[in-house]
Structure 1
Amino acid sequence: MAKSIRREAPPATRPPEAGPAPPPAPQSLPDPDRPRSLIDIFRMGEKAPAQRPRHDLAPGPVERLAAQGVRMDAGQHRKMVRGRLAPEARIDLHGMTLAEAHPELIRFVLNAHSAGLRLVLVITGKGKVRDEGGPIPTRTGVLRHQVPRWLQAPPLGPVVLQVSGAHLKHGGEGAYYVYLRRTR
């Protein structure tokens, strides 16, 4: 970056004349009364500020589940989310409506629990993109958002110990691991 160079005047042989004072040097601080523009904020060599997301949506179901914490053995949970534990049973809810999927999920999870299974896979699919571009954003995947709520509510809540997003090899964002409590 080149800086401007001022020539120094040779030493004066006569005394300086009293005259008007030179104008003050421009200050590097911005004037608080002047409105700031984007050009004032940006300096050479800086990166441009990151763009804000268009919509401020609530976190997705996988982020919500991850924020709840681990209620099962930490080692088993680590193996589960890395895809190293094989699910003992699975149900695929693709193409079902909410009215069809809810009783199927209840039947499947309660039967798996009574059979003594510990880890089951619930496949919901990622959902269809239906954003019409309106002012209110629409979420994709009705089942993907509703299944974790069903798994935490009665009658499934007492038998479910942990719900986590599935590893990519078991369905990724379109599936959930459901770790069941032991039968007594």
Structure 2
Amino acid sequence: MTKTVVRSLADLKPLARELAAARLAAEMERERLAAALRLAEQERRVFELSIGPVTPLRHVERVLHDLEPPAPEPRQREADERAVLLQALSDDIDVDTLLDTDESLSFRREGISVEVVRKLRRGHWALQGQLDLHGLRRDAARESLSHFVHDSNRRGLRCVRVVHGKGHGSPGREPVLKGRVRRWLVQKSEVLAFVQARGSDGGAGALIVLLSGST
């Protein structure tokens, strides 16, 4: 009986060694996995570990909308309109036959009464815009005036002032733009009437212009 027990204990030694080896292998595997996890965490947090603690942004539910492409710019049409505006203003028109020879030479389109001109001269309409042509050459002044009148009328403005100067700085002290501005204005369909400005509004160096106020 005693020999049998001893023999059984002796048989258990290899099994014990196998179990010990298995536990060691398992422990080593756990250590390997733990090291791999630590390395992965360090790599994941490499940015945070480099600059310090990071506060995650608060998550906000957002709806992404499809962005519509911007509308094409009608550059060719604008260029064509600009050319038409410039070509329409001639320097050769005889403006004197279209002016009323009143106290300061005024203009009123057909169908506009003399009373409208009187109101315009008295300042019945408040000034809503101004264009100063001082220092501009003829072509630049013509283009500026054309765009100013067109844009002011498109915006619904009724009464504006155009400053052309008294010619004190021109050769011969003659107002170079004064006559041209009158010629150009009578050719603009948006212009209903104009008068020389009162002294407080520029006098002989400016015109007060009444627009139709619509395109």
Q: TM range, normalised to the smaller chain?
A: 0.5 to 0.7
Whole-angstrom distance in 2 between the partners of 1:161 and 1:171: 20
- Letter of the 2:178 counterpart: R
Aligned to 2:136: 96
Contact 1:98 1:143 in 2 (8 A): yes
The answer to whether the aligner puts 1:113 opposite 2:149 as a matched pair is no
Long gaps (5+) in structure 2 = 1-94
> What is the CA RMSD across the aligned residues, in angstroms?
2.6
Return the TM-score normalized by structure 2. 0.47
SS in structure 2 of the partner of residue 179 of structure 1: strand
SS in structure 1 of the partner of residue 118 of structure 2: helix
Long gaps (5+) in structure 1 = 1-60, 132-138
- Letter of the 1:166 counterpart: A
Q: Which aligned pairs between 1:118-133 and structure 2 lie closer than 5 A?
A: 118-128=158-168, 130-131=171-172
Count of matched residue pairs: 114
Which range moved further: 109-118 or 68-77?
68-77
Aligned to 1:144: 178
The percentage of counterpart residues that share the same residue type is: 34
* Deviation (angstroms), 1:80: 1.8
* Deviation (angstroms), 1:169: 1.1
Whole-angstrom distance in 1 between the partners of 2:196 and 2:174: 16
- Which runs of structure 1 show a deviation greater than 6 angstroms over 4 or more consecutive aligned residues? 61-64
Whole-angstrom distance in 1 between the partners of 2:186 and 2:142: 13
Greater Rg over alpha carbons, structure: 2
* Cα deviation code 1:148-175 (max 9, x no counterpart): 101122xxx2111112111111110000
* Deviation (angstroms), 1:62: 9.4
* Deviation (angstroms), 1:66: 3.1
Contact 1:83 1:169 in 2 (8 A): no
